[in-house]
Structure formats: C-alpha cells, structure tokens
Structure 1
Amino acid sequence: MGYQLTGRMAEVCSCKSLCPCAVGEDPDSGYCGFSWVFHFDRGEINEVDVSGLNLAFLGNHRGNVYDGKVRLAVIIDERADDAQQGALVEAFTGKAGGPLADLAALVSEVVGVIRTPIEFDVDKGTGSFTVQGVFEGDVRGFTAPDGTPTTLSHAVMGSLVGTPAYPGKVARHEVTDAEYGLQFKGRQATQTEFHYVAA
C-alpha cells in the first residue's frame, strides 16, 4: 500500500509555551494532553482518494513523546465512506509504512476509533476546528511586527508532522470527550503543513 497525502495539521496541547515535543524535549510537568486535526488538501492511499477529508487524534502521554507511550483515540471524518475510512486507518496505524509508520511507532494504545463530523479551517497558524462531540477550538498564530506568520523549521518532529510549523496560542479549546478520560486544558497551538509519501 502506498500513499501521497498533502495538507495541514492543527495541534493544541497542554504545554504552556512552544511545543517541547517539536524539538525533542519533555513536555511541561512531564505530561502532555493533546488534540490534532489533519486536513487532506490532496490525498490518495492505495488508489483511494481521501482529498478534502479530515482525521483527528485526541490523546496524552507521560514523559518524552519518543518513549512511545502515547495513548489516543482516532476520529474519522463522518463523510468518509468505508473504503476511505479503511485506507486512513491503515495508513495512520503504520501498516502502510513510510513516515506515518514512524508516527504510529510513538503510540502504545489506540483506545477507540470514532466517526463524527469534522470541520477544519486553519491556515498559517490561525483558524478554527470542530470535531463534533469530542473537541473544538480556535487558535491564533504568532506573527512578526509586520504581520508575517512566525515559523519553526528543521525541528525534530518535522519529518513526522510536517514543516514549516506555525506556533501560536489557544484562543478557545473545549474537550467534551467523556468516554476515554482524555480531557486536558489547551494552552499552546501549532499548525504544520505536511506532505507524506510512501511507495
């Protein structure tokens, strides 16, 4: 199974400043609660077109993210048909190899797979997202004095979540998950641009 996926990912986590995981450091207080939303501007997985769809994670971990102890729920866009859902789950659980297998290697437990409507409108670090019944938020990217978006490049996590990264802050973040105990207070935000390829 091969894939080519191009798009944007918006992250919110419980750390108080720029995401420590981005540069390979431990999270604040040794714990990270996080939400990620991926939007596929263009994408194909084993000849299944996933362009325009979204996928989300809600999770947490203790210690360094590279210790591979991430626990998360996978949330699939309700608009995905069975073939698209199967392709996304295969790719993002690492079964298709490539950079997504490296990302999946950080995960020790998938607590559930959920289908729900997902909306995504984040660009250059600023915008909003809604994962219906699970979490939603508004984020604001940092900027230079002239309004140019602040970027972070050549970071350790860049190969896994995309580069450049647009760091920012949380204007609003609400977690409504009651089933998996993954609630957290969102503080920092980062948006990336990804291009995943595997033969």
Structure 2
Amino acid sequence: MAENWNIRGDYVEACNCEVACQCVWLEPPDGDVCTVSLAWEIEEGQYGTVDLSGLGVAMLIYTDEGVMFAPDTGWYLALLVDETADATQQAAIEDIFTGHAGGVFAVIADTHVESAEVATAPFEFDRDDGDFSVEVGDVVTMETTPKDGFNDEPGTITPHPLGPGLEMKTAKSEAATVSYDDDFSWDVSENNSYYCDFELVNA
C-alpha cells in the first residue's frame, strides 16, 4: 500500500508551444505533438517517514498527435531522479511521479502514460524570483524568464493540473534542450514556459 506523501518547492517547465501553451485550454499543441521538460526542486517533502527534502526531479514527455489532455492521447515519459537520492528516496520518488502512490500523477498515469523509464542524474536548480536555471546532467538545460503582461507583471494561466489552485505563471525559455536518447531529444528554446511554487499531496 502506498504511503501518504506531500512535496512542495519550485517548479518550471518548457515546451515546444509558443507563449502561452494552449494545452491547458484543450487545444492541440504547436505541431500537433507536445515535447516538454518539467523540473521540480523539492524544498520540503515526505513519503511516509522518508524525507525527500532537497532533492530534484525532472520529467521528459512527448505525446502522440492530438490534444495533450484528451483521454486518448498517449504520453511517453522519462523520469530523472536526483543522483544524490539514496535507494529508499529514489523508490519513493518513483512511486510518486509514476503514479503508483496516488495523487495527480496517478490520474495522469491511468489516463495517458504509454511507457515510462527511470534514470538518475546530477541536478543544478537555481531560481531568482521568476528566473530559472536548470541543468540535469548532460540531459536537460532550461533557462527561463517571466513573460510580463501590460502591467509589467508575469501573466497567469489556469487551469494547470500541477499548479497551486490550478494556476501557473507564464514565462519564456531562453534555452530548453533535451538530449536523453533518440526519442527524447529536442531543442524548443525561445518558446513557452510555466512556473510556480508548487505543493502536491496524495490526499
């Protein structure tokens, strides 16, 4: 039986759509497929009695053609776990982010995921207000900056399933590259990014 869990910290994503990505409004992504990297820095987190604080996690996704959140659209995932995690912490993170431990990731896995693989990598995750710099080994690079509106404040979008209150702030990537294998390999720099202070639980 899965443990109760909760995690909170910083989140950023970068995808192939122009600002702002239209998947949240159930419209097809640019090019009719989604290629996206997502990264979490867990400031505080527990999986049962396992402490997950200070660990990084990234997820790479590409989809079948069509609307990303349509029930019949398949997703293909690679999960990258911070190499500093011990075996118990890595197992906990895998349970959470592959959907085996309930919460939003279970809904995603049950509805969309066609395949998922897991690897470890070193993480460098830096945030300065709305500016993010993420390096996951030699696999992922993200450099993003807020996309301000006419009021000189970052825009917001809703509903996004991973944001607090289903809300995300808008940004644009200066760099957004992935080089994992032939399937997970792309450069979607100068396109959409979303970010937030996240808090996720399984109950």
TM-score between the two structures when normalised by the length of structure 1: 0.88
Asked if 1:109 corresponds to 2:112, the answer is no
Q: Counterparts in 2 of 1:145-184, with a 5 A limit?
A: 145=150, 147-152=152-157, 154-155=158-159, 157=160, 159-162=161-164, 163-177=166-180, 179-184=181-186
SS in 2 for 1:65: coil
* Identity of matched residues, %: 29
The offset of 1:88, in angstroms, is 0.5
SS in 1 for 2:185: coil
Q: Which moved more, 1:72-81 or 1:56-65?
A: 56-65
Any gaps of 5 or more consecutive residues in structure 2? none
The offset of 1:135, in angstroms, is 1.3
The offset of 1:34, in angstroms, is 0.8
Q: Distance in 1 between matches of 2:53 and 2:169?
A: 23
Kindly indicate whether the alpha-carbon contact (under 8 Å) linking 2:154 and 2:171 is maintained by their aligned counterparts in 1: no
Q: Distance in 2 between matches of 1:55 and 1:29?
A: 27
Q: Deviations over 1:68-127 (max 9, x none)?
A: 4110111000111100000000111111112221233332111x2111101112355422
CA RMSD of aligned residues (A): 1.9
Kindly indicate whether the alpha-carbon contact (under 8 Å) linking 1:26 and 1:63 is maintained by their aligned counterparts in 2: yes
The offset of 1:146, in angstroms, is 5.4
Structure 2 residue aligned with 1:85, among 87, 90, 95?
Answer: 90
Kindly indicate whether the alpha-carbon contact (under 8 Å) linking 1:124 and 1:149 is maintained by their aligned counterparts in 2: no
Counterpart in the other structure of 1:71: 76
Counterpart in the other structure of 2:40: 38
The offset of 1:21, in angstroms, is 1.8
Q: Distance in 1 between matches of 2:129 and 2:194?
A: 9
The offset of 1:192, in angstroms, is 2.5
Q: Distance in 1 between matches of 2:169 and 2:128?
A: 9
The offset of 1:136, in angstroms, is 0.6
The offset of 1:195, in angstroms, is 1.5
SS in 1 for 2:196: strand
Counterpart in the other structure of 2:51: 49
Counterpart in the other structure of 2:200: 196
Q: Distance in 2 between matches of 1:24 and 1:57?
A: 21
Question: Aligned pairs, how many?
Answer: 194
The offset of 1:22, in angstroms, is 2.3
Structure 1 residue aligned with 2:141, among 133, 136, 139?
Answer: 136
